[in-house]
Structures are given as C-alpha cells and as structure tokens.
C-alpha cells in the first residue's frame, strides 16, 4: 500500500517532542503525501511554523482567521469543515495531555480542535508527555474515550524523557508513525479487496459463563467479552456471516449483521455452539468458559451458618476438545489460551489436544493484555508451529490481525 497521493493533516501541539514533527513531515512528503500542518499556539513555542511550512510546502495554519504575514493578513478564513473533509487522515503528533483532554471532552477552543471535531477521516493520536502525566488516570481515561470514538492511538514509547525520568511517554518515532499509516491503509485495502470471506459462516464464542451455586450466587471469571465481540465485528467487516454465542456481558451487539445467541452457563454455551457447529466454516472459541460447575446447585439461597463451607464441583464439557473431535475437512478452528506460566508449552498442548488450526496465546504477565483491557498483546501459533507475534494493540486491531491470518490460510 502506498501513501503517495494521500492528503494528511498533521496536528502539532505543545510538547517538547514537537521537534520530531519536522522529521515526520519530511518522511510523509518524501513518501508522496500532501501534508497540511495545523499547529496550536503553544506548539509554536517549541518549533516555528516557518520550519514546518518549508518542509510541507504549504502555509502552516493555527488560527481561524489569517492575520499573519505569510498570508498577507488578508483576513481569509481557515475553514475547519473543509479541512476535515479534505484529509484522508488526521495525525496529531505530538498530542499533549491538554489536547487529549480537549478532544476527549469535545472542547473546541482553537483551529486544531475544531478540525478534529469536523474530521470524517481516520484520526491518529500519538501522545507525548512525562511518565506520570501519561500514567495518570485522567490521561488513561481520555485515551480510552478517544479510542472508543473510533480514533487510533499510537502508543507512547518507553525511554528517557525530557524531565530526566525514564518510562513511557516518549512520542513514537516518526518512522513508527509512518509505518502505522502504511499498515492502516494496507489493511483497509485488503479488507476492501478481499472476497475470501464473502458468504463464509463464522461461529464465535465470547464472554464468561456463570455457573450457579444457588439462585443468588454463581462462579464466574473476569472476562468482559471485548475480544470476542471485536473479532465478530472484524469478520462482519470482511463479509462473513457471523453467529456469536455470548455469555453474560454488558456489551452491545458488535454489528447489526451479527446473530447473537445469549447463554449463561458452560452447558448452555456448549449446546448453542454444538448446534451451530456443523454449518460453520470458521470457528473462533474466544469465550472464557468455566472448567468446573457446582455439582448440586441449590434451588434456594444458601444461608450463612457454618464457619467453613464446601462446594462440590464437577467438570464442564470441554467445548474446544469436543468440537475439535468432530471437525470436518474444510472447517477451521481457532482457540485461545490465557496463561500465567510455561505459556508456549501450555498453548501447544492445547493446540494439539483440541485439534485446532491456531491457538491465540495471551499472557497475564503482559501489561495491557488479558481481561478488562481495551488492548491486547497476542502470539498466534498455527498447527505447523509457525509463530506470529504481535505488539500491544487495541482489541479491534488485534481482531483485524486474526481475520487476516484466516484469510491468508484460505
């Protein structure tokens, strides 16, 4: 995928790392992109508009009305709506904590924020700030909100910061930002061009199960279903017919075209999955199914009486192993393994024991991966033991990677 001819808005905000925006402009222009820089007032304290205008071969914009000498003070209007419609991508790099907060809250106090609110194109935020600012709950929440709006976050990197501290907060290198754009358009082009999944029937399990102890209590786990729902959304976008068997979650339907079957217990999930299995071309088992269930759930609430309380548990049906034994030629199965130790060894055992085509390995030792996060870091191993390692990404991006692996196998 080429960036040549792409129209890119580059937003530069008040951060010491604004000096890197000059190299980013140069790389984008060299790649054939048409670059328009929009700066905040505070950004001009770190790098001059003249530098970026010279590199981009376009006047830098920072105000709604032109009064500066490079535009002869003609009073012409920088139309934020037209800018938002003009661009193929809006990259805000560096994105300061202040800018992240304004955009997350929808505050429109300058040209850059107005362009962001008007943009119909993909928006990429590349944050840059000191480590404590980057890790502060308000910044974390603002990044989460921006991501939930459909924006893309180019995570800050780990290293020495301007304060002298060492940690996450460094602006991603210009080469990394450029590669992110290449990867985005390559995936978009692939999704648009690929017909391999058109008409394919995909069965996906997601979320936790709840195993009743009595009418009030149950055994469960920390799964939110976010990963499975993202996978369902990605397969629909690739043209597949998707059936989602979902344990209890607070998530909305991932896409209107998804057929969702709601279940509660491991046995219910097994029954629904078994029923849909024979007609499925691709099966993705991402649910966190309980391994054990109470042997004799009470029909009334158990009262607190004794100092200790014993609960007899019995094994649930192993959905992956059962379906793997029934798998027919042409069917493809992907399972998940969340591990805390001996990760690869345990994942390989599961891959072969359950007759899977891929095993998606998560490690709870990886920061930002596992239950509850909007991000995930995975390693995928196929039945030939070929390994695909992926960096920490949003779960929607991880889902796209998994769909791409399936498409390649077809």
**Is the backbone of residue 76 left (phi > 0), alpha (psi -120 to 50) or beta?**
beta
Buried b (16+ CB within 10 A) or exposed e, 129-138: bbbebbeeee
CA 161, distance to chain mean position in Å, is: 26
Q: Is residue 293 part of a domain?
A: yes
Q: Is residue 67 part of a domain?
A: yes
Instruction: Say whether pLDDT at 134 is over 70.
Output: yes
Q: Is residue 341 part of a domain?
A: yes
Please give the pLDDT value at position 293: 96
User: How many distinct structural domains can be found in the chain?
Assistant: 2
Same domain? For 156 and 200 the reply is no
Same domain? For 202 and 112 the reply is no
Q: What is the mean pLDDT of the chain?
A: 91
Is 336 annotated as contributing to ligand binding? yes
Same domain? For 168 and 244 the reply is no
Question: Which residues make beta-bridge pairs with 35?
Answer: 8
**Is the backbone of residue 167 left (phi > 0), alpha (psi -120 to 50) or beta?**
left
Q: Is 348 exposed, middle or buried (0-12, 13-18, 19+ CB in 10 A)?
A: middle
Percentage of the chain exceeding pLDDT 90:
73
Instruction: Say whether pLDDT at 189 is over 70.
Output: no
Same domain? For 177 and 133 the reply is yes
Same domain? For 155 and 201 the reply is no
Across the range 227-250, mean pLDDT stands at 94
Is 6 annotated as contributing to ligand binding? no
Same domain? For 162 and 199 the reply is no
How far the first Cα of the chain sits from its last, in Å, is 21
- Residue identified by tokens 């798998």 is 327
Same domain? For 178 and 66 the reply is yes
- Domain-ending residue, one of 165, 189, 213: 189
Instruction: Give the residue, 208 or 192, on which the prediction is more confident.
Output: 208
Q: Is 32 exposed, middle or buried (0-12, 13-18, 19+ CB in 10 A)?
A: exposed
pLDDT in tens, 349-401: 999 999 999 999 987 777 666 676 788 999 999 999 999 999 888 899 899 99
Range of the domain at 390: 195-298+305-409
Highest-scoring range by mean pLDDT, 67-76, 157-166, 217-226 = 217-226
Angle between helical axes of 395-409 and 174-193 (0-180°, round to 10)? 50
Q: Is residue 318 part of a domain?
A: yes
- Domain-ending residue, one of 156, 189, 222: 189
pLDDT in tens, 17-66: 999 999 999 999 999 999 999 999 999 999 999 999 999 999 999 988 76
Instruction: Say whether pLDDT at 282 is over 90.
Output: yes
| Model pTM above 0.75 | no
CA distances from 117 to 83, 138, 184 (A): 11, 20, 21
Is 350 annotated as contributing to ligand binding? yes
Is 357 annotated as contributing to ligand binding? no
Across the range 332-357, mean pLDDT stands at 93
CATH number at residue 231: 3.40.50.10300
Give the separation between CA 279 and CA 126, rounded to whole angstroms: 43
Q: Is residue 2 part of a domain?
A: no
Q: Assign 159 to helix, strand or coil.
A: strand
| Cβ pair 246, 252 in contact under 8 A | no
Give the separation between CA 402 and CA 410, rounded to whole angstroms: 13
CA distances from 49 to 58, 62, 253, 369 (A): 10, 9, 46, 40
Same domain? For 242 and 378 the reply is yes
Residue 151 annotated among the catalytic residues of the structure: no
Please give the pLDDT value at position 71: 46
| Cβ pair 28, 54 in contact under 8 A | no
pLDDT in tens, 99-109: 999 999 999 98
CATH number at residue 140: 3.40.50.1950
Give the separation between CA 372 and CA 367, rounded to whole angstroms: 12
Give CA torsion, residues 78, 83, 84, 86, to 10 deg.
160
> How would residue 176 be classed by pLDDT, with cut points 50, 70 and 90?
very high
Is 395 annotated as contributing to ligand binding? no
Q: Is residue 27 part of a domain?
A: yes
Same domain? For 25 and 107 the reply is yes
Q: Is residue 1 part of a domain?
A: no
Instruction: Say whether pLDDT at 332 is over 90.
Output: yes
Same domain? For 233 and 135 the reply is no
CA distances from 183 to 18, 99, 188 (A): 23, 25, 9
**Residue 189 CB neighbours (<10 A):** 12
Same domain? For 181 and 207 the reply is no
Same domain? For 91 and 164 the reply is yes
Catalytic residue among 66, 79, 151, 221: 221
Q: Is residue 79 part of a domain?
A: yes
Give the separation between CA 391 and CA 153, rounded to whole angstroms: 13
- Domain-ending residue, one of 143, 171, 189: 189
Please give the pLDDT value at position 41: 93
């Amino acid at each position: 995928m080429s960036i040549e001819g792409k129209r890119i808005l580059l937003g530069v905000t008040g951060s010491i790392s604004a000096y890197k925006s000059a190299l980013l402009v140069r790389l984008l222009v060299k790649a054939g992109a048409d670059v328009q820089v929009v700066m905040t007032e505070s950004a001009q304290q770190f790098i001059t508009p003249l530098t970026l205008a010279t590199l981009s071969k376009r006047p830098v914009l920072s105000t709604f009305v032109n009064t500066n000498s490079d535009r002869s003070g003609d009073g012409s209007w920088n139309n934020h709506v037209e800018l938002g419609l003009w661009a193929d991508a809006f990259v805000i790099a560096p994105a300061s904590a202040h800018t992240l907060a304004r955009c997350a809250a929808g505050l429109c106090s300058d040209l850059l924020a107005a362009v962001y609110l008007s943009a119909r194109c993909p928006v990429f935020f590349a944050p840059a700030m000191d480590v404590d600012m980057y890790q502060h709950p308000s910044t974390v929440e603002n990044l989460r909100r921006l991501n939930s709006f459909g924006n893309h976050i180019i995570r800050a990197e780990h290293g020495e910061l301007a304060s002298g501290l060492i940690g996450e907060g460094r602006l991603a290198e210009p080469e990394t930002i450029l590669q992110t754009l290449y990867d985005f358009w390559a995936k978009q082009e692939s999704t648009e061009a690929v017909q391999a999944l058109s008409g394919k029937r995909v069965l996906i399990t997601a979320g936790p199960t709840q195993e009743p102890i009595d009418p009030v209590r149950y055994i469960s786990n920390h799964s939110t279903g976010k990963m499975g729902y993202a996978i369902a959304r990605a397969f629909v976008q690739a043209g597949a017919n998707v059936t989602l068997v979902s344990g209890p979650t607070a998530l909305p339907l991932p896409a209107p075209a998804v057929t969702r079957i709601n279940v509660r217990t491991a046995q219910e999930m097994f029954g629904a999955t078994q029923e849909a299995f024979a007609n499925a071309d691709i099966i993705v088992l991402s649910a966190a199914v309980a391994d054990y269930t109470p042997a004799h759930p009470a029909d009334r609430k158990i009262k607190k009486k004794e100092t200790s309380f014993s609960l007899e548990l019995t094994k649930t049906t192993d959905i992956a192993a059962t379906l793997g034994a029934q798998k027919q030629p042409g069917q493809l199965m992907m399972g998940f393994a969340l591990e805390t130790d001996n990760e690869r060894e345990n994942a390989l055992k599961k891959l072969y024991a359950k007759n899977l085509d891929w095993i998606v390995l998560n490690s709870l030792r990886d920061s930002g991966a596992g239950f509850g996060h909007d991000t995930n870091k995975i390693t995928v191993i196929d039945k030939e033991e070929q390994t695909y390692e992926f960096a920490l990404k949003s779960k929607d991006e991880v889902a796209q990677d998994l769909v791409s692996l399936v498409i390649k196998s077809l």
